[in-house]
Chains A and B, each alone.
Chain A
Amino acid sequence: MYVESQVATTAPRLPGKLPLTAILLWLGALAASAAPWLPELDLLSVVSAFWSYDGSDYSSVLAHFSWAPRVSIALLIGCGLGLAGAVTQQVLGNPLASPTTLGVEAGGQFGVTLATLFAPALLAFSQDLVAVAGGLLAIGMVVALTWRLGFSPVTVILAGLVITFFMGALNMAFLLIKGEWLGNLFIWGAGSLVQNSWQPFMDLWPRVLILGAALVLLMRPLQLLQLGQASASSLGARVGLLRMLALFLVVLMSATVVSRVGVVAFVGLAAPVLARLLGARTLQERLFWSTLLGGGLLLLADTLAHWASSWGDGSLVPTGTTMALIGGPIILLALQGFKNTHHMPGQESNPGAFLPKRRSVLVTGAVLLCLLLVTFFVSMGWSPGLQDWSWTPITDWGEAWVWRGPRLLAAILAGVCLGLAGSLIQRMTGNVMASPELLGISGGAALVMVLIVLTGTEIGRAGQLGAATLGAAAALGLLILLARRHRFAGNQLLLGGLALYVFMDSGLRLVMASGGTVAAKLLNWMYGATWLISETEALSLLGLTLVICLGLFVAIRPLTLLALGDTSASSLGLPVTRARLGLLVLAAILTAAATVVIGPLSFVGLIAPHLARVLGQQTVGRQMIISALAGGLLLALADYLSRIVIFPSQLPAGLLAALVGGIYFLWGLSRHGRA
């Protein structure tokens, strides 16, 4: 599966920079970690802190029971996750696979959250058990969904990403409802390696060692996999079983780690990626160097976290944050390094194979519009009171509009914007799986917003919209720049989206660890708290959407022509660069407007255009109209449900949309596999 690695097997030659980097990384991180101790203890006592302490000197006690176990656990976990990541990549033949991208960590987190809330006894009995169960659930879903596609690399990552979002959304739902009770889960979710005894390390090392040894034992048969499934089978290796076994061990490794120190994501992705970037070619090399680099990277991240917290006001900076900050650039760096030999799932389906019966745009549109109106009427009229459900008489709607109208209107408009943005992006990239959410365009908008919250700036809605638009445009521009050579296909786009998601995630983790209430507020916004929207804001959003819709009329021709390829388009008289730029800006504004209202993770930008195709709309204009209506309908429903399901509490509407959207996407993926 790796063309370049097969070549390298015949002529193994390890570049010198790899060992050099690993040594520098370890020594540098260790030195940086030990540095703050040197004023208090001499070098010898710092080194000996790993095995002894002097009871009369509290600094020495502290070094032995707080610092040394922290360093040891960082190295241990880093090595374990680095190895697990490299094995995952090998098993799935996928340069982007890792426990993080397959949803294992999100699954483990979900398991622990559920157990904390509903079965604390189970948690007390064994924290590993629930984390492993959650991890297995996540990876099981990914495997089941992508089985038929023969684990086609990008499909696996897409499924993993969506399951990560999905489980993350479920997790958030619980955190939001029960926030005050789950203060520790916020920290745990952010990943903190703080230690105050050797106990966790002592518990962990035999497990990591045994799992690691088992994974290494699988190396020889795994190497056969490198020759491709067909030849491996003929050599007698039972490919399917081996893969399952290896993945099971990977889940055990990550879930064990997750249950003890919290979610330290991206080590398992960054370490193997770095090893490959630095020139590890053969399987042995990749496993070995990923393991070492994983340990070094995590220690570095943890040291940075420790330093950042002592430079600041002393409050905790979670290691999950710094790891994501280090991991993001490595992944971005890797973008240029990978050969694009894979396809995104949408790419392969040639339009001929995926053409539902054409339907009249008028009839379909009218049906959707009717449904939208019905939703509107029900949402305005039928509501749960503090005592009982009741219809609000139409004469009282003027009053009820205040608390039901603006949010509903804004939700519909956000849906319309996302439907349009999704269609635009799919057409621009020629890929039916592309969407603002999965490509990280919403993530770019959200990243800017998270930064604004972190810095504590108050800028109002218009400022938010402007900032979010900039973020979305930057993300989209970056993606287009990166992916241009590859004609918007394959890993580069996804990877870019992933890296942006990583950055956004790191900001979120920092806020989450710092305090429950602030985090709950931010999470409410991230998952689309439509209830905060005022009438003026809803109306100005309406104006903005109308203006953009006018702009889109002009965009239909360029969109149709661009699909024919740059050369044909320019020969037909289209100024390609300018057209692309214009479309980019439109898509960015649409995404940003929706993100400000509904948050970055609603999946509507993915589902709505897809629905439009399923409903038989193929030309650009028709797809856009139907997709806009479908998007509006989806979010109108989500908004209504968010208001009533746990009345008088409410869930963010975007969260509900993400749950529904996640299920729809997974269903679509499995259907796609069958076709």
Chain B
Amino acid sequence: MCTSSPFTNPVFTNPLLTKPLARITAGLCLLLLSATAAAQTWQHEQGRVSLDEPPQRIVALNWAATEALLLLGVTPVGVADKSGYATWVREPVLPDHVPNIGTRVAPSLEAIAELEPDLIITSSEMAPAADLLQQIAPTYVSSVYKKGSQPFAKARQMLITLGEMLDREDRAREILADIDTTLADQRRRLEAHGAHKRPVALVSFLDDRHVRIFAPNGLYQTTLDGLGLDNVWPHDGNYWGFSTVGLEAIAPYPDGRIVVIEPTQPGLSDNLAQSPFWTYLPAVQRSQVYQIEPVWPFGAVFPVKRLAIQLTDALIQGGSDNVR
């Protein structure tokens, strides 16, 4: 535009000089503009991940991430330990056609790469592999379970971040609000039935002598807090939020009710019935043994809701003097 004017600075009159400069400047501006507009960056446990647009093909390397994606209405293109998910987690349902990419402790990088994902979600358990995964696709590291973490807070944060990445923030907030409402509703139900008074011991049987007892630092504590129930077990467990204990470890807490989370082994109830140790347990004597369907204790936010409903139903329905 200024090339024809004789009064302008000679430097700018030369088209050979102005054109590339202008192009570069314009290009840079565009780049900056598009970068601020489209590409977003999220900080995670082992660095940061930048995405230009919401990812379409996501691979989830643990069940907490799988669950979070399904909750947001996104079906991952590959998950780890698919058959186990159907047995142990159950809800939200994972469609049958999603391919398996190996075990959760040792997924196959090969299979992940073949799926050509545009986002991989993993946890710090896989820390040494994060570099390799990063070379396959942008990798988001979020560990609901690690030393010193608070599972529910962490899972909430993961859900919201994933919501942002996938442009489904509203959905994420709805889910969280729904969980809070559910907890409040179930708490009112419990109180209405007067079933909230005694503390509970949440256990799952490993065999007829050993149980996993769920500790105050675990995900389930969120449900108990939300329902206004006390946990009988006072000690923190491992970072997964449980301790493996002999069955006799619940004996020192005579006030507690016992909630057994399935699956239980065949023949367990017969073995327990024959053991006066069990039949004399105060909770058993009071017929305060409750049994609920499998709930995955190492998931993200959803198990909190699932457990809250099942636990409330079971406590209101009334217990028995043995497992089924």
Contact = CB atoms under 8 A, between A and B. Distances in A.
Given A58-B280, A180-B88, A192-B246, A124 B266 contact: yes
A516 to B, nearest CB: 9
Interface stretch (B28-36, B130-138, B163-171, B180-188): B130-138
13 contacts: A66-B248, A180-B81, A192-B246, A313-B215, A313-B235, A316-B244, A386-B114, A399-B113, A513-B244, A517-B298, A531-B108, A649-B102, A649-B108
A515 B210 contact: no
B240 to A, nearest CB: 6
B6 interface: no
A388 to B, nearest CB: 11
A649 B244 contact: no
A456 interface: yes
A383 B128 contact: no
A649 B242 contact: no
B47 to A, nearest CB: 14
B251 interface: yes
B132 A199 contact: no
A196 B88 contact: no
Given A62-B251, A647-B111, A192 B99 contact: no
A195 interface: yes
B27 interface: no
A7 interface: no
A66 B114 contact: no
Given A184-B207, A315-B245, A402 B136 contact: yes
Given A124-B267, A514-B238, A649-B102, A383 B110 contact: yes
Interface stretch (A268-276, A518-526, A557-565, A583-591): A518-526
Contacts of B208: 196
Interface in B96-139: 99-115, 125, 128-129, 131-132, 135-136
Contacts, number: 173
A652 interface: yes
A176 to B, nearest CB: 7
Nearest to B105: A520
B199 interface: no
Contacts of B206: 183-184, 187
A315 B237 contact: yes
A192 B105 contact: no
A667 to B, nearest CB: 30
Given A61-B280, A180-B84, A196-B208, A314 B105 contact: no
B101 to A, nearest CB: 5
Interface in A273-319: 309, 313-316
A610 interface: no
Interface stretch (B37-45, B270-278, B307-315): B270-278
A649 B103 contact: yes
Contacts of B93: none
A183 B110 CA distance: 29
Given A199-B274, A534-B128, A402 B105 contact: no
Nearest to B130: A534
Interface in A511-544: 513-515, 517-518, 520-521, 524, 529, 531-536
B57 to A, nearest CB: 13
B86 to A, nearest CB: 12
B151 to A, nearest CB: 14
Contacts of A176: 103, 105-106
A195 B129 CA distance: 42
B282 interface: yes
Contacts of B114: 385-386
A443 interface: no
Contact of B136 (A66, A179, A187, A403): A403
Contact of A531 (B106, B147, B240): B106
A187 B206 CA distance: 9
Task: Give the interface size class of chain A.
Answer: 35 or more
Interface in B226-269: 233, 235-238, 240, 242-249, 251, 254, 265-267
Contacts of A66: 246, 248, 251, 277
Contacts of B113: 399-400, 402-403
Contacts of A58: 251, 254, 280-282
Contacts of A509: none
Contact of A184 (B105, B111, B115, B210): B210
B135 to A, nearest CB: 5
A133 interface: no
Nearest to A456: B147
- A197, A400, A533: most-surrounded residue (chain B CB, <10 A): A197
Interface string A168-205: 00000000110110011001100010111101000000
B106 A649 contact: yes
Given A124-B266, A648-B110, A315 B132 contact: no
A315 B103 CA distance: 27
B207 A188 contact: yes
Contacts of A179: 103, 105
A643 interface: yes
A468 to B, nearest CB: 15
Nearest to A533: B128
Contact of A534 (B108, B132, B215, B277): B132
Interface string B75-90: 0000001001001100
Interface of A: 53, 55, 58, 61-62, 64-66, 124, 176-177, 179-180, 183-184, 187-188, 192, 194-197, 199, 309, 313-316, 383, 385-386, 399-400, 402-404, 406, 456, 461, 513-515, 517-518, 520-521, 524, 529, 531-536, 643, 647-650, 652
Interface string B272-295: 001111101110000000000000
Contacts of A124: 266-267
Contacts of A183: 206, 212
B257 to A, nearest CB: 16
B209 interface: yes
A61 B277 CA distance: 6
Nearest to A461: B128
A70 B156 CA distance: 44
Nearest to B278: A196
B110 A404 contact: yes
A649 to B, nearest CB: 5
- B108, B209, B233, B240: most-surrounded residue (chain A CB, <10 A): B209
B119 to A, nearest CB: 17
B110 A316 contact: no
Contacts of A194: 209-210, 246-248
Given A180-B84, A316-B246, A65 B105 contact: no
A179 B84 CA distance: 10
Contacts of A313: 215, 235-237, 243
B240 A517 contact: yes
A517 B105 contact: yes
Contacts of A399: 113
B142 to A, nearest CB: 17
A61 B110 CA distance: 57
Contacts of B215: 313
A315 B244 contact: yes
A167 to B, nearest CB: 22
A520 B125 CA distance: 11
A192 B208 CA distance: 12
Given A314-B243, A649-B102, A531 B109 contact: yes
A196 B129 contact: no
Contact of A65 (B87, B104, B245, B277): B277
Nearest to A310: B249
A176 B106 CA distance: 10
Nearest to A65: B277
A534 B244 CA distance: 34
Contacts of B101: 648
Nearest to A532: B128
A555 B44 CA distance: 48
Nearest to B251: A62
